[in-house]
Structure 1
Amino acid sequence: MERFWSSENIASSKAYSLEENRCEEVFQQTVRCDEDGRYIVVLSYYINVLTRLGESRDIAFRRLQGTERRLARKASLRDQFNAFMDDYLRSGHMRKVEQATLGSVQRCYLPHYPVVNEAGSTTKVRVVFDASCKISSGVSLNDVLLVGPVIQDDLRPCGVELDK
């Protein structure tokens, strides 16, 4: 019976890189549950790279102006986009940056834009945040975030061999 279970057990023999281990450590220390029962996860980032992040407000503002020009031509899209952003603000996923604190704390502004799904039965508009946008230093937010290990198994089609 013991041999049966050992042959059915899939051993986790994944060796994590230093970066993956660091991300897992930070993750374990920064995950918490709020009073509403929602999980709060702080983004894990490279400490030495964060100082290279640079200025992001200008590019995010230019992208916002382009989005607003697009939304000005389509009132229904504008209304759905604004409703999404209002909900995002009410939910606490973002907050207004006060003018008085603009220079005192390092911030990263994320360019964002609406994506329309005409076939969608409920929400036809969702907002995509572009964390891969390179900012003044040539670095993006994605560049400074730690990448954790892949924690799900590969899904391979039956009978198909993958190139090695």
Structure 2
Amino acid sequence: MPEDKMAEHFFKETHSRDSRGRYEVRLPVRPEHPRVANETRSMAFKSLSGIQRRLSRDARLAEAYGSFVRDYERLGHMTRVPASEIQCEDAWYLPHHAVIQASGDKCKLRVVFDASRKTRAEHCLNDFLWSGPPLQGDISLIFLNWRKYRFAFTADMVKMFRQFLVKREDQDLQRIVWAPTADAGPVDYRLNTVAYGTTCAPYLAIRTLSQLVIDEGVNFPLGAVV
């Protein structure tokens, strides 16, 4: 597909590594995306009010949600937007909500950033992001390959998408607002890493891992094969 080729070319031309070796990527955004900062910020505030009402009725969820957000900021995966920079016509605000995975007595909370929320004109950020070519392995083939081995291991890459930095020029497309309660003053943040919920996130994450093989495979041949 032409768009897949454009996304691949864009990645090759714009990715880089910082002084620590961490990868930085651009969001593959279409140049004609609308300027809807004020409207999406209003939508984000309305969504936040709904979250706060829900949290006020569930202390356990409130603690988990607050802990997630605090951890996000502590790790540098998001930063506060200075008051002087809040007005930005190119910004796009993302509502967010909790997805809870329950397993027995344990619950795992993940906050999803809703890049598919529509404006009055039926625009959403995901409409203006190239998703990139699918790079995930076919799960059915992976299962079939397991028959070749006596043992198989599964593992989870912790905070996978958040291992990849988004370059500063695109971070304002990933803004959120947050306050734990209605009494607390809301704060504007920009997300500094690839965000779960954007259509390009799987491509950017897996493509960057492939780039790591290209860049470091000679030094780590056994890992590169995997």
TM interval, shorter chain, is: 0.7 to 0.9
Distance 2:31 2:100 in 1: 36
How many residues are matched? 140
Matched to 1:70, the amino acid is R
| Match of residue 31 from structure 1 | 15
| Match of residue 45 from structure 1 | 29
The structure-2 alpha-carbon separation of the partners of 1:81 and 1:36, relative to structure 1 and needing over 3 Å to count, comes to farther
Distance 1:88 1:130 in 2: 17
Distance 2:100 2:92 in 1: 25
Asked if the contact 1:53–1:141 (Cα under 8 Å) also holds between the matched residues in 2, the reply is no
Matched to 2:82, the amino acid is E
Distance 1:113 1:18 in 2: 33
The answer to whether structure 1 residue 117 and structure 2 residue 101 are counterparts is yes
Distance 1:126 1:107 in 2: 24
CA drift at 1:32: 2.2
CA drift at 1:104: 3.6
| Match of residue 101 from structure 1 | 85
Structure of greater Rg: 1
CA drift at 1:114: 1.2
Identity %: 38
- CA shift digits 1:72-116 (9 cap, x unpaired): 111121111111111111222222222222224521111001122
| Match of residue 89 from structure 1 | 73
| Match of residue 50 from structure 2 | 66
Q: Give me the TM-score of the superposition, normalised by structure 2.
A: 0.56
| Match of residue 13 from structure 1 | none
SS in structure 2 of the partner of residue 147 of structure 1: coil
Distance 1:128 1:136 in 2: 22
Matched to 1:125, the amino acid is L
Distance 1:106 1:119 in 2: 41
CA drift at 1:145: 0.2
The structure-2 alpha-carbon separation of the partners of 1:31 and 1:72, relative to structure 1 and needing over 3 Å to count, comes to same
